[in-house]
Amino acid sequence: MFDNNQIIGIGLVGFGFFFMFIGVFMFFDRPLLTMGNLLLIGGICMLLGLKKTYSVIFDKTKWKATTLFLFGIFIVIIGYPTIGIIIEFIGVYGVFGGYLPSILGFLSHIPFIGKFFNASMLSKKKKCFMITNELNNPIYFDLESVDSPTPTKTSILLGPLITSQQIINNTF
């Protein structure tokens, strides 16, 4: 399932979050936050690989978030950890925010941690899937009301829903 580099990457990311967590609770201790940043970046590189990490972090659509992330790390290193960690978290959310549902889904399957990530948090994502039409507009297919044309709570939150009959007739 995972090769050795990915296992090491998971460990480094875990230690990076641990050092950052301890650094925040030790009144923004700069050496701990710096160690956490280095372990986190190294772990992401080991987990995804250098080429994929480069393409994720330096994506042209996320250049503002990448700038905030790297600027936050720089601010932590030069001695302003409180401001730097806030800027860094905003940047991390901008860069890796798209992966949040996948991360929550992964964490919900871990035995002890999964109890904290209840299935109700992910229920809307599990009960529907998205397809696109000719114009690349997202259309969500609701698995709870497969043949019901009436809008459900999920359809109000996610957007236009289609039924299985519309898929068969190709009228969506």
- Asked whether residue 100 carries a pLDDT value surpassing 70, the answer given is yes
Q: Which tens digit of pLDDT belongs to each residue from 35-59?
A: 999 999 999 999 889 999 899 888 8
In order, the DSSP letters of the chain are ---HHHHHHHHHHHHHHHHHHHHHHTTS-HHHHHHHHHHHHHHHHHHH-HHHHHHHHT-GGGHHHHHHHHHHHHHHHHT-HHHHHHHHHHHHHHHHGGGHHHHHHHHHTSTTGGGTS-HHHHHHHHTEEEEE-TT--EEEEESTTTT--S--HHHHHH--EE-HHHHHHT--
- Asked whether residue 127 carries a pLDDT value surpassing 70, the answer given is no
Model's pTM, two decimal places?
Answer: 0.62
